[in-house]
Structure 1
Amino acid sequence: MLFIGDDWAEDHHDVELVDDEGQVMARRRLPEGIEGIAGLHALVADHLPEDWAELEPEQVQGLVKVGIETDRGPWVAALVAAGYEVFAINPLSVARYRQRHSTSGAKSDAADAHLLAEIIRVDRAHHRPLAGDSEEAEAIKLVARTHQSLIWERSRHVLRLRSALREFFPAALEAFADLDAPDALELLALAPEPDRARQLTRRRITAALRRANRRNVDARVNEIQQILGAEQLHRSTPVQSAYAAIVAGQAAIVATLNAQIDQMAAVVDAHFGQHPDAEIYTSQPGLGVVLAARVLGEFGDDPHRYTDAKARKNYAGTAPITKASGKKKIVLARYARNRRLGDALQQWAFCSLRGSSGARVYYQQLRARGTGHQAALRQLANRLVGILHGCLKTHTTYDEHTAWSHHLTSAA
């Protein structure tokens, strides 16, 4: 076999080739792009067996194994397309291996390339090869992650907007409970400071509420005018003017993010609807299109990636970990996990309480035993992941009785 360690940077790759015995066969620094990947292929061809051209693609894949600290990008896609078996090594694991090989703390790109080659030569059984997900699943992952990132970014800007209002215009926080709502953003853009807010006409406020499809508009208008018109503490004119500019800017950013989130949600829906497993995912209680797309994108659709439900739960981070030493044994939550997948599963568990009587009974049983809310949701998510794995394995949609028969019977 031929083992390749690839320490990548933005504009170049340091690669090292070693054989089965750990003998260094070649070291190169290759540029990013077509020229670099062509150079790597030529380097590999020079060190493969003479009859490698007659081998089947599966045999070539078994001969060349690559270790790299990323699982995405055109370079990685080119490695997979060439038939190499690629291992995406977690940078944290590489750092631990580095400490094992050298206690001095020395580090270089060439040394890291050697380290990556040694990891897959000696310990590749403890690392997962890059999943063979379909192009559809990869596209869903990209758009679902972007949609989630936009939502997280909106939350950050809403918090900044709230912080600015708290410093000089707290009445706005009382008047507008949801700062990312269209009517709140429109009115804050028109009146980002107290003096202009008191001058807002009833007609302006009514128009903003109607555009946001609010109910009880007249009562809501009276409430807003009363809050904004009340006497309140003031900052100096220059400070208030500066804060007003900050509020107007943040309101504009949040409004733009709202529009982009809606557009990206439509893209997520379009991609997810084309996937053959879409019906299985959306049949699960609590999974809408966007949330189902996030779960599918993070799990992938490689049928050979998860050997059983336990493997899928471990990857999801919902399965607990056990620390045992002597007579001491502690079971803890697994915090080293895919954060995006963990967030989606926690939301799924919460939403399933309304859509599934079995999930609700299971959650209530956990709470009755003294389990906290978040811990109970995590255990419920663990159960839901197992149910999803069974549905995907058998290519069947969700069935409430099959999934929760034991818990529903015991509750009765």
Structure 2
Amino acid sequence: MLETGETLRLFVGDDWAEAHHDVELMDASGRRLAKARLPEGVAGMTRLHAMIGEHLGDDGEEAQVLVGIETDRGPWVRALVAAGYTVYAVNPLQTARYRERLAVSGAKSDAADAHMLADMVRTDSHQLRPVAGDSQQGEAIKVVTRTHKTLIWDRTRHTQRLRHALRDYFPAALAAFDDLAAREALELLAKAPDPAAAAKLTVNQITTVLKRVGCRGDLTGRATRIQAALRSEHLGQPPVVTAAYAASTRALVTILATLNEQIAILRKEVEAHFGRHPAAEIITSQPGLGPILGARVLAEFGDDPDRYTSAKARKNYAGTSPITRASGKKRVVAARFVHNDRLIDALITQAAAAVRFSPGARAYYDKQRARDADYNTALRQVANRLVGILHGCLKTGTLYDEATAWSSHPESLAA
């Protein structure tokens, strides 16, 4: 039994794989209480609860269960959080460094990693970040925004593949189309994926495609320019090689057309989910953040109100704040290279837009450039400042105000 005022603490290490989990239970003294390999799913989670309950006994309601696992997502993690356990998502790099601290032999096994994770949360939980208690709305926004952004990245990769293929056998197409992922380019390349077929396209045929995809302006003039570019002389490939490239182009065009369609569908899903979130109005009041970019920022920060204790903590997570390396007389201030790629991408994009539309952000950017900061460094500093402003707005539940946001930088207000 526990003494009055004492809380029983149980530490669990969970080394997960796709089909199973190696778990170990440890007490406060570091003694192993139990270990097992559990299957993924309901059966495994039920057995884990039973193992924990067996060692908590009558003190279960007063006990605290701390779990270390190398992931922060998935139904298994959600079930752990729902059970009332404190779950720490341990970065695999931290795990590797901790392993080296215990042994230098390089030996590794799933059971040993479970033991190590349990020991990490026992000794270093104050240094680890608990899994955020995001709302269901926040989780839904994360799912659709990440998929939407992934499809955009996929489209960029496939567009580059198409560009490389055309450059090798049909460079005239690159002169004809500014954007290979645009609907008119895809439709025309699907109709005529090789130089011979493209040279037969008439101005009327090209104009019809431009109208169908919703192009505006002088369509006849544009169609004439496209036709001229497609018929221009260029270095080519032998017929059999050209036919092989044309088949590859048809496949890439089909993939890009499908990606365009699904990106448009998911964009509406992102806007719908984000529009229902209570923080949406505050986030979109920030300079440079619309519904899509705002949804990405919300998704990657999460919406747990207690996750970031200060603006500095949010900036550190964002990766916008610099890090200092000091040793003896040497002191170096550098950018953080370990960060959430999706979040930093959204924040830098926001900063680039903010310097165009926010006088305060523009003046702050110019101040950094005047200190000989290059473009990327200055933009990152603007992003860092904007993260702090966003944190304050979310904490106080207030909309962005240009004068208030830059009050600590009078030169920004004067600009």
Question: Residue deviations 1:330-353, cap 9 Å, x none?
Answer: 000001011110111011111112
Structure 2 equivalent of residue 391 of structure 1: 393
TM-fit CA distance, 1:228: 1.1
1:156-235 equivalent positions in 2, closer than 5 A: 156-212=157-213, 213-235=215-237
Is it true that 1:17 corresponds to 2:18 in the alignment?
no
Structure 2 equivalent of residue 69 of structure 1: 70
Q: State whether residues 361 and 407 of structure 1, in contact with CA within 8 Å, keep that contact through their aligned partners in structure 2.
A: no
1:373-388 equivalent positions in 2, closer than 5 A: 373-388=375-390
Structure 1 equivalent of residue 362 of structure 2: 360
Cα gap change, 1:409 to 1:167, in 2 (>3 Å): closer
Cα gap change, 1:266 to 1:194, in 2 (>3 Å): same
Question: Residue deviations 1:293-329, cap 9 Å, x none?
Answer: 0000111111111111000000000000000000100
Is it true that 1:117 corresponds to 2:129 in the alignment?
no
Q: What is the rounded CA distance, in whole Å, between the counterparts of 1:408 and 1:207 in structure 2?
A: 54
- Aligned-residue CA RMSD (Å): 1.1
Q: State whether residues 358 and 407 of structure 1, in contact with CA within 8 Å, keep that contact through their aligned partners in structure 2.
A: no
TM-fit CA distance, 1:363: 1.1
Is it true that 1:47 corresponds to 2:55 in the alignment?
yes
Letter in 1 for 2:152: I
Unpaired runs of 5+ residues, structure 1, are none
Question: Residue deviations 1:132-173, cap 9 Å, x none?
Answer: 111111111111111000000000000000000010111110
Q: What SS does the corresponding residue of 1:28 show, helix, strand or coil?
A: strand
Q: State whether residues 406 and 413 of structure 2, in contact with CA within 8 Å, keep that contact through their aligned partners in structure 1.
A: no
TM-score, scaled to structure 2: 0.96
Q: What is the rounded CA distance, in whole Å, between the counterparts of 1:204 and 1:221 in structure 2?
A: 9
Structure 2 equivalent of residue 343 of structure 1: 345
Unpaired runs of 5+ residues, structure 2, are 1-8
Q: State whether residues 203 and 223 of structure 2, in contact with CA within 8 Å, keep that contact through their aligned partners in structure 1.
A: yes
Structure 2 equivalent of residue 278 of structure 1: 280
Q: State whether residues 172 and 233 of structure 2, in contact with CA within 8 Å, keep that contact through their aligned partners in structure 1.
A: no
TM-fit CA distance, 1:51: 3.5
Q: What SS does the corresponding residue of 1:286 show, helix, strand or coil?
A: coil
Q: What is the rounded CA distance, in whole Å, between the counterparts of 1:377 and 1:192 in structure 2?
A: 41
TM-fit CA distance, 1:227: 1.2
TM-fit CA distance, 1:225: 1.2
TM-fit CA distance, 1:50: 2.1
Question: Residue deviations 1:234-268, cap 9 Å, x none?
Answer: 21011000000111111111111011001001000
Structure 1 equivalent of residue 141 of structure 2: 140
TM-score, scaled to structure 1: 0.96
Cα gap change, 1:160 to 1:220, in 2 (>3 Å): same
Q: What is the rounded CA distance, in whole Å, between the counterparts of 1:233 and 1:13 in structure 2?
A: 58
Q: State whether residues 203 and 220 of structure 2, in contact with CA within 8 Å, keep that contact through their aligned partners in structure 1.
A: no
Q: What SS does the corresponding residue of 2:87 show, helix, strand or coil?
A: strand
Q: What is the rounded CA distance, in whole Å, between the counterparts of 1:409 and 1:207 in structure 2?
A: 51
Count of equivalent residues: 405
Q: What is the rounded CA distance, in whole Å, between the counterparts of 1:174 and 1:32 in structure 2?
A: 53
Structure 2 equivalent of residue 88 of structure 1: 89
